[in-house]
Amino acid sequence: MRTGLAQLPLHGGKAPRWLFSRMVRLAREVVCHITTEYGPDEILVRLSDPYWFQALGCALGFDWHSSGVTTTTCGAIKEGIRGLEKDLGFYAAGGKGAASRKTPQEIITVCERLSRAPEALVYASRLSAKVDNSAVQDNHQLYHHSFFFTKDGRWCVVQQGMNDATGTARRYHWLGDGLDSFVNEPHAAICCDTRQQTLNLVANDSEKSRIAITELAAQPDKDVLSTLARLPDLVLPHRHEVSAADVNPRYIKKILLRTYERAPKDFEALLGIEGVGAKTLRALALVAELIYGARASTRDPARFSFAHGGKDGTPYPVDRATYDRTIDVLHAALARAKVDRSDKIKALKCLATFSRPQEQ
């Protein structure tokens, strides 16, 4: 359900060291409190909620409306729980740029320590990234991928794509619990500051197209290749985002030979084949429409959702003394072993109740 609108412009720069060190400490206390009260699964649920994620980023003091809140907040959480993962039962992998490519190995390393099979988690990480980079074609190239998981194998994903031409960023949230399919409406939420026409192969409306694409991939016959070869002569309707210039019949032929050899049983298996990316799927989606009349959805899946001050001075400059005091109070509440746990939680809930009328 759409419940609001937030605009997140693409900002440059990064969090200064004095601020990020505080973000790490405060993120640690927030994660520790939530896992103590509700368990590590609750952290996954909250991180998959774009509103809660945005609120956490604001509480940590980053730009309240900047795209950088995604990478910085995820980075603060990962750094904040370092060394506490075993006690919390909560783990973080991935990150921005080169760090995102280390996600599979980081998952494997943790799973080896936990004596559990890593394949399902690595698959979830890999396929969620491939869906948002190839199956949802919205002109936002992924550059950040954070994978959070628990010792029991539950997981969530927070990843972000960038469009340099428009100066916008798009954030994708996934939650493993309740995920029936990686390729049929899999997202918990997608947030962006603009809507656009999107080739959305994971929309429910694209089910027939997914079936047709998979059939085409398993049958690289002359009719398909000849149709692709004639694409530059076709006059495409305005409603369709596929560009003939994006389709190279010789490249598609090589991919079709590879998919024919592996004969994917369904669209999810096709998506998982190495080399099957955005251009391949665009070409096959167009051919599937031309041959079978199975049109892919162009509905944009984006859902618009989106203290201590902010580093850009909005709504006011970060109040370092108050920030440090917040960290100290939260840390002390957990550290005082003599205080009964229920009393700690009761005190925090009283603080929350007290703060609401002040805000109003």
Q: Per residue in 242-276, pLDDT tens?
A: 444 445 555 566 666 667 667 778 888 888 878 77
pLDDT at 303: 34
pLDDT at 31: 93
Work out the angle between the directed axes of helices 222-229 and 278-292 (0-180°, nearest 10): 110
Tokens read off for 338: 């003599």
CA atoms in the 13 A half-sphere facing the CB of 32 = 21
pLDDT at 110: 97
Whether the per-residue pLDDT at 15 is higher than 80: the answer is: no
Whether the per-residue pLDDT at 360 is higher than 60: the answer is: no
Whether the per-residue pLDDT at 199 is higher than 80: the answer is: yes
pLDDT at 248: 55
pLDDT at 302: 40
pLDDT at 95: 95
Mean pLDDT of the chain: 78
Mean pLDDT over 330-358 rounds to: 63
pLDDT at 5: 39
Whether the per-residue pLDDT at 238 is higher than 60: the answer is: no
The DSSP-derived string for 264-278 is: -SSHHHHHTSTT--H
When pLDDT is cut at 50, 70 and 90, the band that residue 359 belongs to is very low
CB 10 within 8 A of CB 56: no
| Rounded Cα–Cα distance for residues 192 and 214 (Å) | 30
CA 279 to chain centre: 21
Is the pTM higher than 0.85? The answer reads no
Provide the Cα torsion 327, 329, 335, 337; round to 10°.
Answer: -170
Top-confidence residue, 302 or 31: 31
| Rounded Cα–Cα distance for residues 142 and 16 (Å) | 24
Contacts of 196 (CB under 8 A, 6+ apart): 138, 139, 300
| Rounded Cα–Cα distance for residues 288 and 295 (Å) | 7
| Rounded Cα–Cα distance for residues 171 and 302 (Å) | 9
| Rounded Cα–Cα distance for residues 338 and 342 (Å) | 12
Q: Per residue in 75-121, pLDDT tens?
A: 999 999 999 999 999 999 999 999 999 999 999 999 999 999 999 99
Q: Could you tell me the residue ranges of all domains in the chain? A: 1-196+301-360, 204-292
